[in-house]
Structure 1
Amino acid sequence: MAVKGPNHQMRTRIRGLTVLFALIGFGLVGVRLLYMQVFNHDFYVQQATALQTRDTFITPNRGKIYDANMQVLAESAAVERITVDPKAVVDESKVKKGITAESQQQTLATILSETLDVDYDTVMEKLRKTNSQYEIIAQKVDKDVSKELDEKLEAADCTGVYSEPDTKRYYQHGAFLSAVLGYVGSDNNGAYGLESEYNDELSGTAGRLVRVQNQQNKDIMPETQQYIPATDGNSLVLTIDSDIQNYLEKHLETALADNPEARDGVSGIVMDVKTGEVLAMANLPDFDPNSAYELTNDKYINELKENVAKILKEENVKAEIPDAWYEKGGLDNLPEAIHDNSDLVDELGSARVNILMKTWRNPVIADNYEPGSTFKLMTVSTAYDLGATHAEDTYYCGGSLQVENWEIKCANTSGHGMQTLTEALMNSCNVAMMQIAQSVGMDRFYNFYKAFGLTEPTGIDLPGEGKGQFHKLDVASDWNEVALATASFGQRFTVTPIQMLNMVCAIVDDGKLKKPYVVKEVLSGDGSVKSTNETEVVRQVISEDTSAYMREAMEQVVANGTGKNAYVPGYRVGGKTATSEIQPEYDSDGKVLDTEDRYTASFIGVAPMDDPQIAVLVSINDLPESATHTGGTIAAPVVGRIMEDVLPYIGITPVYDDSESDRRELTVPSVSGKTRDDAISTLSDAGFDCIIKGDGDTVTDQVPSAGMRIAASGKVIVYMGEEKPTEAVEVPDLSGMSPDECRDTLEEYGLYLKQKGVSSAQITGDTTATKQSPEAGTKVSLGAVVTVEFSDTTTVNDR
């Protein structure tokens, strides 16, 4: 039976309905388009623009940091930032071929984590954020690594990964000057030091790159790309001289090695007396600003391990923390067993940050300490300037002084007897200082304390400067005659090391207090000078006459007093020793935390005293009483070594008087081929005695060789036909010997002594060899010079 189709009437109805639905559909579309393009035009333009526009910020190069001689200390280099667009990572065409979205993400995460050394799980977490178009995977990526990544991505046909221009800060000499320079964080902003203080100058202005791209991240209209270049930051020229900084750090390293019980390390500053320029500044242990979040110093790592052990014990957690965590931190370096204990992880992280902050801080400007006997320079200069004491005045010390209800002792409990003002300073006598302060009075004493700038920060251009803490003037129980007595010798109040050294510079430079500074110039991008820091005299504190007396007295401290271990042959060095007490710390129950008293050993030196050019402060911090801890014994020699390097470097020629004839070095002349009498005459004219070996007619060899410089007391060996020994000589161990014993011992070995340290006039039975170079056991050639440093090893009473 035939099947009937729709009749004419039905077909007409179908066509009508089709037209009607089409009209309704197009009408709705038209209304929607009208709504979108007319009534909400701006909204949808913004939405489209947001989806299509890629706006990339271009990081400017931070300005360079130069030393005083225009050597680069810090600079930025172009690197890259690696980002992903999670929406663009998954290729739908691959999904249709059976390669799942998860598989594509895993492949990309593997490549990124292995190439960029980032955590795989962290990368996967970011790739799954498909509601985001911008996730940072790694920053500060070197270009060669970025190129390697591009090649791997292309080979694996991965999409959605981009590189953006970035900059990375490089510190050319690692930990060198790190406390002053600070470092730059991952956001390219300065953290600590000059990087922080001058961040606005160094940062520059970011640029922008604006592009329009489709869903496949291809440029839609390349011609519309907008590029606004970044403006690089300004540069800094420092007052720091890298050579002087090297000298300072070298000798501080030795001081730290010699005093391993110094719980807070060692610190030092070198300043230009006349300008206030800081020529060098260092603290050890230090850190490498190229990897500021890593711990490399054993002292700090061991301290962190002790703190972690306490935390784990308190939390009753048994876990072995790997060394990698102590050194680099990071959740990945902690045992998986404690990953879920977020409170413990946070507590461990805080402990590590606390140690890091100790490595970053700059104690010489930030930390307070009781200055001890170096402060006696202020006590004496104040009284002298007021006319309360005179050079010819005398003071009797019987070992202690009764002040109100307190018997306050001198470091020399047997007493110094009768002494002049200069001798009181040379002896570092507490009793004399208390008497001098009494003659000044509380009000005038404090007025000078304030005038020397000790109640406020110096204003140095470094962040985090402290200002110390003095007695409360309006509280009778705090500021009274007893407080005045202890303040006279630098105890029971605090200052910062930079305040102390700045005060001493004022005392020796005709009484002018200056503002110290570290940055000499700010340079614009084209190298022109944008701004300059110049010497700023804050105020005149004492008279030129007082300053002249203080210079003479300070020179006597080194020549004949407690500072004799800072003596440098040929130079007029002055200074003051200190051994200051550290006030004990108590726990919550009032129990003293330390089992023995602790001290800071320090010395402030100035040279040359007839026309002061440089001042040096060295402090060896937080020593137990059981260790050698007096400033005259362990800090003064360090300043002497620094002076011996720096003074010739800045062009000051040594001048030897008759008492230093044994330290004068002379050049050995050539006597080869001469007769016996001619050789003796030639050497005598040059200032040398000689030893004759053999009985030939003419000189066949000599030791030392012509042109070498040795002490005038050294004897030249002349060979008259006898064969000169050719085998190497093993340097003997000279430690603990007197200068004469060292000289005689070396002569037996055919070696020569270069004597350093205590002046010959101050040598006693306690003056012995403490250092030698080359070290004992070293093989050297016949006639080599062995440098030996001598110190008075008895405890110097300089508290």
Structure 2
Amino acid sequence: MLGGGQAALLSVLVGRMYYLQVIESQRYVTLADENRINFRLLPPPRGRIVDRNGFAMADNQQNYRVVIIPEQAGDVERTLDLLSLIVPLSGGERRRIRREVKRKRAFVPITVRENLDWSEVARIEVNTPDLPGVLIDVGQSRSYANGLETAHVLGYVAAVSEKELTGDPLLELPGFRIGKAGVEKVYDLALRGSGGSSQVEVNALGRVIRELNRQEGQAGNEVRLTIDMQLQHFVAERLGNDSATVVVMDVHTGEVLSLVSSPSFDPNSFNTGLSQVEWESLISNPKAPLTNKAIAGQYAPGSTFKPVVALAALEKGVISPDTTIHCSGSTKLGNSEFHCWKKGGHGLLDLTGAIEHSCDVYFYEVARRTGIERMAAMARRFGLGEKLGLDLPGEKNGLMPSNKWKLGAIGVPWQLGETLIAGIGQGYILSTPLQLAVMTARLANGGYAVTPRLTMDRVTPTGIEPYTDEEGAPLGLSPEHLAVVRKGMDNVVNSPTGTARRSRIPEDRWQMAGKTGTVQVRRISKAERETGVLKNDDLPWIERDHALFVGFAPVQNPRFAVSVVVEHGGGGSSTAAPIARDVLRETQRLAELRPPRGHQDVQAVPQSGSKDGSKGGPVVGSGKPPVRGT
């Protein structure tokens, strides 16, 4: 009986072993292989960003980081104490490391510090025998060669936040970076690429024994911008540390050759990690270095808006190029008096003379005859009051007011006095420097709706497609009307009495045309007008006028447009125009070294021999109407 029982138990055991090893053998072999072999996702190299000539604006560089393996380190705290003698560790870094030591397995490497320089790497390597468990690892990090000059265009990359996790496994990789601003953000998917994989053999505890197979990820697409880095560098140096912005674009293709907002910031700091002191200095700076003023700064356009008003009046037929209006220094509407920037007045002027001298009284009367609705409609045809769709995040609409807008926003009807103020680019009107550049480009190219863009090719998450150099649909403007307005802008710079005469370009083949603008950000009382208006130099910086200038060159065959805004810079003719002159001169110098790509010429503007200080306008970004009155 005992032997029979043993035989029965043995048969059950043999049967079970047969079932596991023969019948279920394939299943358990598969499970064993799955436990033995781990697949790991590898981050792909991020695509480069280059300028129009192939110069690398954003690239990848080796990133040396020091890691610690708790299992090998033994006493982690003592090892960190020794390591901090070479690489100082903050209290926050040590708390983070302690959390990861508790959360992860003992053999998993933990990053202590990234972006080490070569001297730090060398000191750690020399002291490796005294630093158990400490290793140097090599990865890739985003690098911006000219960070301060390109920060507002390129943006920056930073670690993925919890709310940005979308289920893409790449986003969960330690140290993975995504675009957080600028071109890096807009084209993040195209730049990101696709991940690779590594097949490694591990033991029962998960420790890596050896790598069996490795397939590198596919690098992200290279994005080629329309920016010319030589010009970008020149503009950034020309602005210095002023609170200002410059936009340069091709009037035919819409390619943005330079977009600079000053002061700027170093995008490399956002990749490596900003200190609290650096962050506080950025957000407390009154000149707003984190704001891209070119697309997010909203300013009253001032007298740079007068060419649009002139075209609206010519199209309506309320004036002709020969219409003359007498300027005595002010005009009255009911009990209100509206002043010209020139106290004694300009006398009798026709349209080109009014543009040349930037006469406010002339344009008060022109605006009264034209009406706000016709001026607003013309302004929208020139790209004012709406987003232009430039491939950068954060673009603002600006504001082109109308009776309907005021009723909806404020609840009261439009007043005739507000039309007069709008006629000189003040009141509720707000524009961005990019919009002013597009307005100027459409004036210069013969009246075509050119759209600004930042990439040489159309970039999609799946690839790169070529653009076609189309100027856009015609705006339906009279060539004769455009010629009159452009002649007035020519006179502004090249006539002996033009408001920007001192900023003319001496080389005939490079001569520019333009329009000055000066926007007041404080109220001037009646008493101050009677005793003498304070000069900008006598005012605190925050109360000084904004200086603006828009222009195009060369006069005879326009190819480039520029807009310049200097916050609290004083006069448009004294501050902004010289910057535009230098920028357009350099733009054309560089263009002669690089032949054009078959641009179509527009009708030449005849040259002739024919001061700006228009006032009133809201502070940038305030969204509030300016103070009006005498």
Bin for the TM-score computed over the shorter chain: 0.7 to 0.9
2:145 aligned to which of 153, 172, 188: 172
Match of 1:504 in 2: 440
Identify the match of residue 211 of structure 1 among 192, 200, 217.
200
- Counterpart-to-counterpart distance in 2, 1:485 and 1:575: 23
2:594 is the alignment partner of 1:638: no
SS at match of 2:592: coil
Matches of 2:32 and 2:413, distance apart in 1: 69
User: Where does residue 180 of structure 2 map in the other structure?
Assistant: 191
Report the Cα offset of residue 138 of structure 1. Answer: 3.2
Letter in 1 for 2:198: L
Q: Distance in 2 between matches of 1:639 and 1:469?
A: 25
Name the CA shift for 1:238/1:562 in 2 (closer, same or farther; >3 Å).
same
Distance 2:455 2:190 in 1: 12
Size of the aligned set, in residue pairs, is 548
Contact 1:563 1:636 in 2 (8 A): yes
Residue 218 of structure 1 deviates from its aligned partner by 5.2
1:797 aligns with 2:613: yes
Shift of 1:152: 4.2
Name the residue aligned to 1:137: 112
CA distance in 2, matches of 1:151, 1:168: 24
> Are 1:127 and 2:101 an aligned pair?
yes
1:576 lines up with 2:576 in the alignment: no
**Matching residue of 2:79:** 108
Match of residue 326 from structure 1: 277
Give 1:637 deviation, angstroms.
1.6
Equivalent pair of 2:252/2:471 in contact (CA under 8 Å): no
Q: Deviations over 1:602-648 (max 9, x none)?
A: 1112222111111222211035xxxxx11111111222222333333
Partner of 1:259: none
Give the distance between the partners of 1:207 and 1:110, measured in 2 at CA.
37
Equivalence for 2:453:
517
SS in 2 for 1:283: strand
* 2:42 counterpart letter in structure 1: I
Aligned to 1:248: 235
C-alpha change, 1:544 and 1:294, in structure 2 (3 Å) is: farther
Contact 2:249 2:562 in 1 (8 A): yes
User: What secondary structure does 1:464 align onto?
Assistant: coil
Structure 1 residues 737-777: Cα deviation after superposition (integer angstroms, max 9, x where no partner):
xxxxxxxxxxxxxxxxxxxxxxxx99xxxxxxxxxxxxxxx
Q: Distance in 2 between matches of 1:220 and 1:235?
A: 36
Distance verdict in 2 for CA 1:248–1:647, change over 3 Å: same
Q: Is the 8 A contact 1:183 1:290 kept in 2?
A: yes
Q: Tell me which amino acid in the other structure corresponds to 1:612.
A: P
Distance 2:80 2:31 in 1: 32
Q: Does 1:284 align with 2:100?
A: no
Aligned pair in 2 of structure 1 residues 534, 236: CA closer, same or farther (>3 Å)?
farther
User: 1: distance between equivalents of 2:340 and 2:272?
Assistant: 46
CA separation in 2, counterparts of 1:444 and 1:352? 42
Q: What's the counterpart of residue 649 of structure 1? A: 590
Match of 2:620 in 1: none
Question: Which of the numbers 554, 557, 564 marks the counterpart of 1:618?
Answer: 564
Partner AA of 1:232 in structure 2: A
1:564 maps to 2:551: no
Q: Distance in 2 between matches of 1:148 and 1:217?
A: 32
Match of 2:250 among 252, 266, 272: 272
Q: In structure 2, which of residues 44, 52, 60 is the aligned counterpart of residue 68 of structure 1?
A: 52
Tell me the residue number matched to 2:489.
554
SS at match of 1:638: helix
Match status 1:426 vs 2:426: no
- Secondary structure at the aligned position of 1:425 is classed as helix
CA displacement 1:144-174 (0-9 Å, x = unmatched): 8667656644x247348684x6321122234
Q: Is the 8 A contact 1:248 1:642 kept in 2?
A: yes
In structure 1, distance between residues paired with 2:568 and 2:29 = 68
Provide the rounded CA distance (Å) in 2 between the counterparts of 1:538 and 1:274: 12
Aligned CA distance change for structure 1 residues 280 and 288 (closer, same or farther; 3 Å): same
The question of 1:230 aligning with 2:167 is answered: no
Select which of 479, 482, 504 maps to 1:544.
479
Paired residues of 1:377 and 1:504 also in contact (CA < 8 A):
no
Deviates more, 1:568-577 or 1:500-509: 568-577
Residue identity matched to 2:132 = C
Supply the distance in 2 between the matched residues of 1:607 and 1:621 (Cα, whole angstroms).
24
Say whether residues 1:470 and 2:395 are aligned partners: no
Letter in 1 for 2:441: C
Q: Would you say the 8 A contact 1:510–1:543 is kept in 2? A: no
Amino acid at match of 2:565: S
Q: Separation in 2 of the partners of 1:218 and 1:157? A: 21
Contact residue 380 and residue 436 of structure 1 kept, 8 A? yes
AA aligned opposite 1:643? L
Bigger relative contact order, structure 1 or 2, given CA contacts below 8 A and separation 6+? Answer: 2
Q: Among residues 322, 325, 332, which one is paired with 1:395 in the alignment? A: 325
Q: Which whole-Å CA distance do the structure 1 matches of 2:276 and 2:179 have between them?
A: 25
Cα shift readout 1:100-150 (whole Å, capped 9, x = no counterpart): x5x3x1343245545555436333453344667564433445688667656
| C-alpha deviation, 1:412, in angstroms | 1.7
Q: Secondary structure at the match of 2:305?
A: helix
Aligned: 1:485 with 2:420: yes
Asked if structure 2 preserves the Cα contact closer than 8 Å seen for 1:208 and 1:229, the reply is: yes
Q: Deviations over 1:268-322 (max 9, x none)?
A: 11111222111111122112222248999xxxxxxxxxxxxxxxxxxxxxxxxxx
Residues 372 and 422 in structure 2, CA contact (< 8 A), matched pair in contact too: no
1:357–1:461: structure 2 CA closer, same or farther, 3 Å change rule? farther
TM-score, with length taken from structure 1:
0.60
Report percent identity of matched pairs.
25
CA distance 1:381–1:240, change in 2 (3 Å): same
The answer on whether the counterparts of 1:452 and 1:541 sit within 8 Å (CA) in structure 2 is no
The SS at the match of 2:310 is helix
Letter in 2 for 1:127: V
Mapped partners of 2:385, 2:297: distance in 1: 14
Distance 1:411 1:221 in 2: 80
The 1-side partners of 2:112 and 2:273 are apart by 24
CA contact 1:630–1:798 (8 Å) conserved in 2: no
Matching of residue 364 in structure 1 with residue 311 in structure 2: no
| Alignment partners' CA distance in 2, 1:45 and 1:401 | 92
Distance in 1 separating the partners of 2:272 and 2:364: 48
Asked if 1:409 is matched to 2:342, the reply is no
Instruction: Give how far 1:456 is off.
Output: 1.4
| 1:57 maps to which of 32, 35, 41 | 41
Q: Secondary structure at the match of 2:414?
A: coil
- Structure 2: how far apart are the matches of 1:489 and 1:160? 68
The residue type paired with residue 77 of structure 1 is Q
CA apart distance, 1:576: 0.6
Instruction: Return closer, same or farther for 1:539/1:128 CA change in 2, 3 Å cut-off.
Output: same
Tell me how far 1:466 sits from its aligned partner: 0.8
Q: 1:596 to 1:369 in 2, by over 3 A?
A: closer
- 1:432 Cα deviation from its structure 2 partner: 0.9
How far did residue 503 of structure 1 move? Answer: 0.7
